[in-house]
Amino acid sequence: MGGVTDTLQSASLTRLITELSRLPGIGDKSAERLALHLLRTPKEEALGLARAIEDVRANVRSCTKCFNVGEQDPCAICADATRDRSTLCVVEQPSDLWAIEKSGAYRGLYHVLSGRIAPMEGVGPEHLTVSRLLDRTREGVREVILATNPTLEGDGTALHLQQKLESRGIAVSRIARGLPSGGTLQHASRAVVADAIGGRRAVANGGA
Amino acid sequence: MGGVTDTLQSASLTRLITELSRLPGIGDKSAERLALHLLRTPKEEALGLARAIEDVRANVRSCTKCFNVGEQDPCAICADATRDRSTLCVVEQPSDLWAIEKSGAYRGLYHVLSGRIAPMEGVGPEHLTVSRLLDRTREGVREVILATNPTLEGDGTALHLQQKLESRGIAVSRIARGLPSGGTLQHASRAVVADAIGGRRAVANGGA
């Protein structure tokens, strides 16, 4: 951006482009496009975004029980007396928790790892909330659902947790993998088809 | 987001996700990812983005001559006495101007249309800076380079401007189209190959 900065002599705009290009998944060209949008959109909308960022940093914190994010501590889910406290669902990120909540398929509590074990990036269990998870299993937990993503690192993290948990007399389960609902065998990758075959379930005698 | 909002009870985070998803090209999932990033990144970086947005809205304006954006009026390019004032390069957006400046291939002045004629979206010449462009051609301009994008609407805009300008005794030119440098005939679309053949230039007698 050096040459263009000199020509435009607009320090504010250059700085906004730089700040935007620091966001994950936003390249230089996208940052330019977003900066022009923020310059042209109604002023209230642009300033609304700036204030929303400031508010989130002022008001949102991690739940000290499950490491979900929210404005209360404990978070709304941990504080909800109607939820099943004997089941913990372990996820990598709050956004995974949001996806499970949207599905409506789960009524227990969560535990957010805040990442996954990634040896290539130097991320070990000690950088995640693993020890707090192990502490929590002493609080009347009967089942832990390992809902890390079905990726190399998510699977490795699940394996690590499984080994840590299985000596504690807790039922440990892993989310199902297979063909995505609405998908087709023809277009699925070999790994997905192999999961679908290997994970097949009996359909007679009440199986599903 | 309704159900999740109720569950999370985090008005700040929901509002940040909503504001981010208003940005062009940012869907709901990307907005969630960016919001979590802004929550976790060092506080100074998140607040730096908020302040950059505020600064741009406070300090950056349109140049009243060429409609480029900057902190000065006239902009740094219009104010630069070393630039060739007899040539105007017409672009759709300031980001197009930045791309041309980065190329180092042009030393004249610019005119930013602030869009392109798009009948399907109800955008006509009267919504752009076309009449100011025609006014400017009276100020010693000898050539106008039409550098709108080589798209259906960019071409239509260039055609409209060409018709308006050609009665004024000004040389009107259009940026070259053809195979992109580094590209291959094999992978180019039919339209690109047709442009490359149709726009061929003699190479003998000093042609390039």
Span B127-165, pLDDT tens digits: 999 999 999 999 999 999 999 999 999 999 999 999 999
* Residues B4, A101: C-beta atoms closer than 8 Å: yes
SS (H, E, C) chain A: CHHHHHHHCCHHHHHHHHHHHCCCCCCHHHHHHHHHHHHHCCHHHHHHHHHHHHHHHHHCEECCCCCCEECCCCCHHHHCCCCEEEEEEEECCHHHHHHHHHHCCCCEEEEECCCCCEHHHCECHHHCCHHHHHHHCCCCCCEEEECCCCCHHHHHHHHHHHHHHHHHCCEEEECCCCCCCCCCCCCCCHHHHHHHHHCCCCCCCCCC
Domain B69-202 has CATH 3.30.750.24: no
Classified as helix, coil or strand, B183 is coil
* Residues B49, A53: C-beta atoms closer than 8 Å: yes
Confidence of residue A3 (pLDDT cuts 50, 70, 90): very low
Nearest CA in chain A to B55: A12
Residue A99 at interface with chain B, using a CB cutoff of 8 Å: no
**What's the whole-model pTM score?**
0.78
- Using CB atoms, which residue from B3, B9, B70 is nearest to A71? B9
* Residues B3, A71: C-beta atoms closer than 8 Å: no
* Residues A60, B15: C-beta atoms closer than 8 Å: no
Q: How far is B198 from chain A (nearest CA, A)?
A: 31
Confidence of residue B1 (pLDDT cuts 50, 70, 90): very low
Antiparallel, parallel or unpaired: β B69-70 and B61-62: antiparallel
Q: Under CATH, which architecture does the B2-59 domain have? A: Orthogonal Bundle (1.10)
Q: Report chain A residues whose CB lies below 8 A from the CB of B115.
A: none
Please say whether the beta carbons of B108 and B88 come within 8 A: yes
* Residues B13, A51: C-beta atoms closer than 8 Å: no
Q: How far is A203 from chain B (nearest CA, A)?
A: 33
Q: What stretch(es) of chain B map to CATH 3.40.1360.10? A: 69-202
Spatial neighbors of A101 by CB under 8 A, at least 6 apart, are A77, B3, B4, B7
Q: Report chain A residues whose CB lies below 8 A from the CB of B22.
A: 45, 49
Place of tokens 């042209």: A40
pLDDT at residue A146 above 60? yes
Please say whether the beta carbons of B90 and B109 come within 8 A: no
pLDDT at B53: 97
Query: DSSP letters of B38-94?
Result: HHHS-HHHHHHHHHHHHHHHHH-EE-TTT--EESSSS-HHHH-TTSEEEEEEEESSH
**CB hemisphere CA count around B13 (13 angstroms):** 30
Confidence of residue A205 (pLDDT cuts 50, 70, 90): low
Confidence of residue A184 (pLDDT cuts 50, 70, 90): confident
Distance CA B96, CA A4 (A): 12
- Better-predicted residue by pLDDT, A183 or A44: A44
Q: What stretch(es) of chain A map to CATH 1.10.8.420? A: 2-59
* Residues B22, A45: C-beta atoms closer than 8 Å: yes
- Better-predicted residue by pLDDT, B186 or B19: B19
pLDDT at A2: 43
Antiparallel, parallel or unpaired: β A61-62 and A69-70: antiparallel
Provide mean pLDDT across the span B181-208: 80
Question: Measuring CA to CA, which residue among A133, A135, A132, A113 is closest to residue A123?
Answer: A113
pLDDT digit string, tens, across residues B29-69 = 999 999 999 999 999 999 999 999 999 999 999 999 999 99
Other Cβ atoms closer than 10 A to A185: 10
Return the structure tokens found at B44: 């100074």
The complex's ipTM? 0.77
Place of tokens 């042609």: B207
Window A:70-89, CB contacts with B under 8 Å: 70-72, 75-77
* DSSP character at residue B143: E
Place of tokens 């004997």: A86
Provide mean pLDDT across the span A148-168: 93
Lowest mean pLDDT among A46-60, B15-29, B88-102, B191-205: B191-205
pLDDT at residue B190 above 50? yes
Distance CA B30, CA B39 (A): 14
